[in-house]
């Protein structure tokens, strides 16, 4: 791959990671992994204002991770990119590894 295409790939990867890199957005994905939900339930789960959650949702939609459908007054969001969940398995492994490292550090102190 040439330098320029490589840079485009890095940019695209960074874009997706950036869209995921927020505790509320991670909570949303975790909540949606078992099925679709409306904004009000998502907001309650995430523990944040609806208007704020609505903005986080639109970030996830525009990076292609979520999709939505309308049902009367409600807007129902669901996971579009299932691969994202594998992704979270990976990051959980990393978090666990870090926790283990800290634990080992504590032992020798």
Partner DNA sequence: TTACTATATGAGTAGATAATCATATAGTTA
Partner DNA sequence: TAACTATATGATTATCTACTCATATAGTAA
Which residue among 16, 26, 27, 38 contacts DNA (CB under 7 A)? 38
Structure tokens at 104: 């080992």
Q: Is 4 among the residues that bind DNA (CB under 7 A)?
A: no
Binding to DNA (CB under 7 A) within 62-91 occurs at 68, 70, 72-75
Q: Tell me, by CB under 8 A, how many residues bind its own copies.
A: 39
Q: How far is the CB of 89 from its own copies (least distance, A)?
A: 8
Task: Give the C-alpha separation, 45 to 42, whole Å.
Answer: 5
82-104 burial code (b ≥16 CB/10 A, e <16): eebeebeeeeeeeeeeeeeeeee
- Closest of 49, 46, 50 to residue 22, by C-alpha: 46
Residues that bind DNA (CB under 7 A): 18, 21-22, 24, 38-40, 43, 48-52, 54-59, 68, 70, 72-75
Point out which residues bind its own copies (CB under 8 A): 3, 6-7, 9-14, 16-18, 20-27, 30, 47, 64-65, 81, 83-84, 86-88, 90-95, 97-98, 101
């Amino acid at each position: 791959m040439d330098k320029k295409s490589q840079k485009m790939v890095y940019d695209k990867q960074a874009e997706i990671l950036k869209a995921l890199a927020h505790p509320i957005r991670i909570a949303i994905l975790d909540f949606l992994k078992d099925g679709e939900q409306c904004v009000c339930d998502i907001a309650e789960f995430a523990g944040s204002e609806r208007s704020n959650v609505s903005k986080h949702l639109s970030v996830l939609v525009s990076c292609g991770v979520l999709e939505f459908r309308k049902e009367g007054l409600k807007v129902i969001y669901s996971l579009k990119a299932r691969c994202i969940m594998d992704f979270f398995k990976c990051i959980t492994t990393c978090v666990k590894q870090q926790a283990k490292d800290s634990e080992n550090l504590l032992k020798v102190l």
